[in-house]
Amino acid sequence: MFDGLSPAETQALLLSLRVSFWATLTSLPLGLLAAHALARWRFPGHGLLNLIVHLPLILPPVVTGYLLLLSFGRQGWAGAALWDWFGFTFAFRWTGAALAAAVMAFPLLVRAIRLALEAVDPRLEEAAATLGASRGMVYLTVTLPLILPGLLAGAVLAFAKAMGEFGATITFVANIPGETQTLPTAIYSFLQVPGGDAGALRLVLVSVAIATLALALSEWLSRRIAARIAGR
């Protein structure tokens, strides 16, 4: 499928893309909510929420992975309940890799959306209300369009972070080819076997390309938000 990549490498790349895509997509609504709460609401526990959101950025990834294993493993409090009620589990599945990636990427996503939200002038939302827009309509027609570039920039950054996630993923869902072996864990595996350097190097190049592209796209979107807020 990809010239120069072996089937195993292609499989790791495609899995990484799938894991990152779903990790980003599913964390967007929650990220929007968390960013909104942090940017706009004052409530007891504001500082705690801020801490929890940012924790994965500071904790060693292996600790985050272990905490996920404790909660969402088959024996974990949440994992056991999910299994008993829905017959669903994150443990050693690609969905678990997506969960780990989402948690690790969440701080980046929330930060980007929060910055965009804080740049929105609440007086514009007041103006929209006087023109007949209900709160939901104000959000849809003023707030969301204004933060859209920031939202996309955050999503791109989260996607890139998810593509590179290693520590939490390998701790939580191990390194099973075809199920939980993403780009970084595949590179790690290649480096563990004699003669795997070539495969590792190819995947490294792919990773570098994806990260560069994502960063450039995110930068461009950030400039768009500045232009949008200024009304140019």
Partner 1 sequence: MTLEIRLSHSLPGFRLEVDLTAPPGLTCLFGRSGSGKTTVINAVAGLLRPDRAEILLDNEPLHHLPPHRRRIGYVFQDARLFPHLTVRGNLGYAARIRRRRPPGFDRIVALLGLAALLDRRPGALSGGERQRVAIGRALLSEPRLILMDEPLAALDEARKAEILPYIETLRDELALPILYVSHSLPEVARLATTIAVIEAGHLVAQGPAADLLSDPQIAPVLGLGDAGAILTARIAAHEGDGLSRLELAAGPLRLPLWLPRVLGAPGQTLRLRIAAQDVILSLSRPEGLSALNILPARVSALHLGSGPGALVRLDLGGQHLLARVTRRSAEALALAPGQPVFAIVKSVAVARDSVGHAVTP
Binding interface with partner 1 (CB under 8 A):
121, 123-124, 126-134, 137, 141-142, 145-146, 228-232
Question: How many angstroms separate the first and last alpha carbons of the chain?
Answer: 43
Of 49 and 229, which CB lies nearer to partner 1 in the complex structure? 229
Give the whole-angstrom CA distance, residue 225 versus residue 115: 10
Of 195 and 231, which CB lies nearer to partner 1 in the complex structure? 231
Nearest distance from C-beta of residue 160 to partner 1, angstroms: 26
Nearest distance from C-beta of residue 147 to partner 1, angstroms: 10
Of 71 and 141, which CB lies nearer to partner 1 in the complex structure? 141
Nearest distance from C-beta of residue 141 to partner 1, angstroms: 7
Torsion of CA 145, 151, 152, 153, to 10 degrees: 130
Of 133 and 217, which CB lies nearer to partner 1 in the complex structure? 133
Of 134 and 212, which CB lies nearer to partner 1 in the complex structure? 134
Nearest distance from C-beta of residue 41 to partner 1, angstroms: 18
Burial of 225 (0-12, 13-18, 19+ CB in 10 A): buried
Nearest distance from C-beta of residue 223 to partner 1, angstroms: 14
Of 18 and 224, which CB lies nearer to partner 1 in the complex structure? 224
Nearest distance from C-beta of residue 196 to partner 1, angstroms: 50
Nearest distance from C-beta of residue 87 to partner 1, angstroms: 45
Residue recorded with tokens 């609440």: 122
Of 29 and 130, which CB lies nearer to partner 1 in the complex structure? 130
